[in-house]
Amino acid sequence: MELPFRLLTGDVLDQLRTLPSASVHCCVTSPPYWGLRDYGVDGQIGLEPTPDAWCVKLVDVFREVRRVLRPDGTLWLNAGDAYAQGGRGGIGDASTLDGSRNNQDESRKALMAGAAGRRPPPGLKHKDLIGQPWMLAFALRADGWYLRSDIIWSKPNPMPESVLDRPTKSHEYLFLMAKSERYFYDHDAIREPYRLESVLRRQYGDGPGGVSVRRGSHKPNARKGQETQNSSAATYSNNPSGRNRRSVWEITTASFDDAHFATFPEKLVEPCIMAGTSEAGCCCNCGAPLARVIERGEQDKELVRSAGANADGTYHGKAKKNYAAGKAQDASAVKARILRGMVKKTTTGWAPTCGEIIACQECLGTGEVPKASAVPLSEFEFSSCLACLGRGQWHVGCSDIPTVPCTVLDPFSGSGTTGAVALRLGRRYVGIEINPGYQERIARPRLEAIAGQGQLAFYAGGGEP
């Protein structure tokens, strides 16, 4: 019985080259940071003599990742930073799977203890922040990736530091990158709850005629603790999905009771996979993800009023500056246009994004879709009728679109955290790891336990990686 994941062991570039082009929907990964630790395998990334050399190696890796990504695919890259020290600093002994440490291989020990490691890398001074995340992000952008967002992973429980001349480091970066200018991104899947003060401001007003609501305040005579309760989707009934996800994610670091030192928390991986792949799966013919069919309703008057509109949902603000003279957009006109677009939206279904003309029998019978350009239904196990979708309708036979799960890749699989989240969310997973011990001793049993008896299939279009 086929399992919904594949684990490939060996050098990351060698293993990536075995995967078909455009066969992966989303990549979520955290590559080894430069100069942090020795994972106990020759050829590993992170022990290069300089951060620049580390960066060059990763650019090569992610160029190959870009090849295996679909044109609408995304890369979610977690990266942390370090400080230049007199000596490499921060690199510990090689790990072993029983939780103890052993001595490094002589070649790796030479890298860490050699002359180049006795002083800060060229261009850096002792105690300089290296800037590894942005070095890598800019290098990948120069290599062709679209750098779309820098997300701050804020850690409420950071690693304690014995430093007195700078703040304690309590964040890392998560970069959203895309292969193409237009890509799949399900923003509705990762909306977040509105802040309670925003909900109360809408309910009780803010300003003349209403109760002013600010941070730490709450409705008069409210029960104690109401100001800190969670603003759930039910509380904000007009927009049950919440607000668009912000770029600061507060996520507690998670411990992992095994021999891998650098596991990122599952809560950090979840929104990446949820936004980067379709929960409805992908076309079993070409692998294109299904997208939400959104029904636009009436204007959300409460929402637009809270954003500055009049009581009837209109906005007639007048700009005080002469934007036309500066050949710039009128800020008031822009705001009015945004407010007009604030309408209630509902997901009513899922539609294929591949653009293939696959017609239902009803449309074929009426001649709405030319038979010459339609794919006979006998060649497929489903019918997704673009003629029906164009009219905003779903015929009998078009509403149920059998799909196969989207595929998630982690080229630095480690203990398999990305895979664990992917399987729990109903996706397929491909993981690459250079250390066979991590792969077989930790990741495989972990993923097999989650997969259970489930059986999923890679889509036919890209072949089975």
Pick the CATH number of 5-188+246-278+405-451 from 3.40.50.10190, 3.40.50.300, 3.40.50.150, 3.40.50.880: 3.40.50.150
Residue 459 in tokens: 């889509």
Q: Read off the tokens for 170.
A: 């309590």
What φ, ψ does residue 16 adopt, rounded to 5°? -60, -35
pTM of the model as a whole: 0.75
Report d(CA 278, CA 293) in Å as an integer. Answer: 12
Q: Among all chains, which residue has been given the structure tokens 């050829």?
A: 43
- Lowest mean pLDDT: which of 39-53, 101-115, 347-361, 449-463? 101-115
- H/E segment holding residue 137: helix 132-142
What CA–CA distance (Å, rounded) separates 217 from 228?
10
pLDDT digits over 152-199, tens only?
Answer: 999 999 988 888 999 999 999 999 999 999 899 999 999 988 765 554
Rg of the chain (C-alpha set): 26
* Residue ranges of domains in the chain: 5-188+246-278+405-451, 196-228, 283-295+345-403
* Secondary-structure percent of the chain, ordered helix, strand, coil, rounded to 5: 30, 20, 55
Residues in CB range of 180: below 8 A, 6 or more apart: 71, 72, 146
Q: How many beta carbons lie within 10 A of that of residue 81, not counting itself? A: 17
Q: What does the chain come to in residues?
A: 465
What sign does the CA torsion over 396, 398, 400, 402 have? Answer: positive
Lowest mean pLDDT among 59-68, 253-262, 293-302, 330-339: 253-262
Give dist(CA 211, CA 305) in Å, integer.
15
DSSP string for residues in 354-395: S------HHHHHHTSS-GGGSPPGGGSS----HHHHHTT---
Residue 107: its pLDDT value, please?
Answer: 52
Residue pointed to by tokens 């309760």: 229
Q: Phi and psi for 147 in degrees, rounded to 5?
A: -90, 105
| Percent residues over pLDDT 70 in the chain | 66
Phi-psi group of 197: left, alpha or beta (phi > 0 → left; psi -120 to 50 → alpha; rest → beta): alpha
Q: Is the pLDDT of residue 8 over 90?
A: yes
Determine the Cα–Cα distance for residues 403 and 382; give it in Å rounded to an integer. Answer: 9
244-281 pLDDT, tens digit each: 899 999 999 876 555 445 578 999 999 999 999 999 89
Residue 368 has pLDDT above 90, yes or no: no
- What pLDDT, in 10s, does the model give residues 65-88? 999 999 999 999 999 898 887 544
Round to whole Å and give the CA distance between 195 and 179.
33
Amino acid code (one letter) for 368: E
Q: Is the pLDDT of residue 200 over 70?
A: no
Residue 103 CB partners (closer than 8 Å, separation 6+): 93, 94, 109
pLDDT of residue 267: 95
3-state secondary structure at position 443: helix
